[in-house]
Amino acid sequence: MRPSLLRSASQLLRRNRRRDYSAAAGGQPERKVAILGAAGGIGQPLALLMKLNPLVSSLSLYDIAGTPGVAADVSHINSPALVKGFVGEEQLGEALEGSDVVIIPAGVPRKPGMTRDDLFNINAGIVKGLCTAISKYCPNALVNMISNPVNSTVPIAAEVFKKAGTYDEKKLFGVTTLDVVRAKTFYAGKANVPVTEVNVPVVGGHAGITILPLFSQATPATNALCHEDIKALTKRTQDGGTEVVEAKAGKGSATLSMAYAGAVFADACLKGLNGVPNVVECSFVQSTVTELPFFASKVTLGKNGVEEVHGLGQLSDFEKEGLENLKGELKSSIEKGIKFAHAN
Ligand SMILES: NC(=O)C1=CN([C@@H]2O[C@H](COP(=O)(O)OP(=O)(O)OC[C@H]3O[C@@H](n4cnc5c(N)ncnc54)[C@H](O)[C@@H]3O)[C@@H](O)[C@H]2O)C=CC1
Ligand SMILES: O=C([O-])CC(=O)C(=O)O
């Protein structure tokens, strides 16, 4: 081949490669996502799902052990996100630096007979340490808190960030998406409507009776369900986590459905950051919807995180009663988190 032809062929090849790359990235801004606890039951499938997300350009997988293997494995998938594994506290800073979204599924899961609050003693300290690092290395990131008890770990994170002077209430989220995922699935099954079309807001918190699904606002609406059906659906949604803990019989709690839910919520955060309009998900955030300082309700996600915290809308009498009943427990879980952060 003539040298000039060779030159133009290689130029064309380079141009095409560039075009392929920007097409693969969808012309979106570069986004770095970090997963803390990435080698765990939730962390691994969540890493897989985030690697498949075209909005992610860099995926940082951090854990106290096991991440080199997970990262090597996930990195072979031919999607655009560049994957790196980080292990041990000395690599935490590098794992976090430049992150747009940090997802935290680090900590111990429940065994049968335990409540989420029984995890507090171990997980509170883990979350506090990780949030201290976030405030240092990526203070502007959106934080998606999965570690339980969410009703306390989110207030702990807020206090850590306040102490560091980096708190922005628009950027801290308790991930309650799994409650919504369950409510949708159970409602669709009972009302016999297509599950992919179902929407159900779930408000309150993320433990037992603090989980309040609003089936009166479920769409598509149905008159096929009686009050007893709604009561049973509510209870099943509230006990969804325990249902999985018992079925796993000592081998942990929900991991696959949680990874799915975590990926849905992180994707919504990324879309909001990228300026996609009308991105709405339920989340446990700083709130004035009730007298409690944190509360889960529908939230619009935007370029700076929370754009709007939505009110509760019209509630049925059953839901109004559920709302009053949950406030005591939610209040004390929030206070427990705040107290821990101040004392430690
Ligand atoms: N928000 C929600 O809806 C849900 C929350 N969860 C919670 O998520 C958490 C994780 O659950 P699984 O993944 O099943 O547990 P797991 O035990 O399988 O994984 C947890 C991972 O965290 C890591 N880890 C521990 N300390 C760490 C630290 N200081 N820094 C980084 N990583 C650390 C462990 O090495 C482990 O790989 C639990 O607290 C569980 O209760 C679980 C399901 C749903
Ligand atoms: O139930 C648990 O311990 C884990 C969890 O939060 C859930 O599955 O909703």
Q: ipTM score of the complex?
A: 0.99
How far apart are the C-alpha atoms of 247 and 263, rounded to whole Å?
23
DSSP tag of 144: E
Q: Confirm whether 32-175 and 177-336 share one CATH topology.
A: no
Its pTM stands at 0.93
| Ligand 1 pocket member 96 (CB < 6 A) | no
**How crowded is the C-beta side of 72, counted as CA atoms within 13 Å?**
4
Residue nearest to atom 17 of ligand 1 (CA): 108
Q: Which ligand 2 atom is the nearest neighbour of the CA of 254?
A: 8
| Ligand 1 pocket member 65 (CB < 6 A) | yes
Give pLDDT tens digits for 32-42: 999 999 999 99
Quick one: pLDDT at residue 30? 97
DSSP tag of 199: B
Angle between helices 67-75 and 43-51 (to 10 degrees): 30
Ligand-binding site membership of 71 (annotated)? no
| Ligand 2 pocket member 148 (CB < 6 A) | yes
206 is catalytic: yes
- Ligand at shortest distance from the CA of 153: 1
Domain 177-336 maps to which CATH number in 3.80.10.10, 3.90.79.10, 3.60.110.10, 3.90.110.10? Answer: 3.90.110.10
Give pLDDT tens digits for 78-129: 999 999 999 999 999 999 999 999 999 999 999 999 999 999 999 999 999 9
Domain map (residue ranges) of the chain:
32-175, 177-336
Give pLDDT tens digits for 183-242: 999 999 999 999 999 999 999 999 999 999 999 999 999 988 999 999 999 999 999 999
CATH fold label, 32-175: Rossmann fold (3.40.50)
Six-digit token string for 327: 């406030």
Rounded to the nearest integer, the mean pLDDT of the chain is 93
SS3 state at 342: helix
Ligand-binding site membership of 241 (annotated)? no
Q: Could you tell me whether strands 142-145 and 101-104 are parallel, antiparallel, or unpaired per DSSP bridges? A: parallel
Closest CA to 294 of 319, 267, 327: 327
Residue nearest to atom 43 of ligand 1 (CA): 254
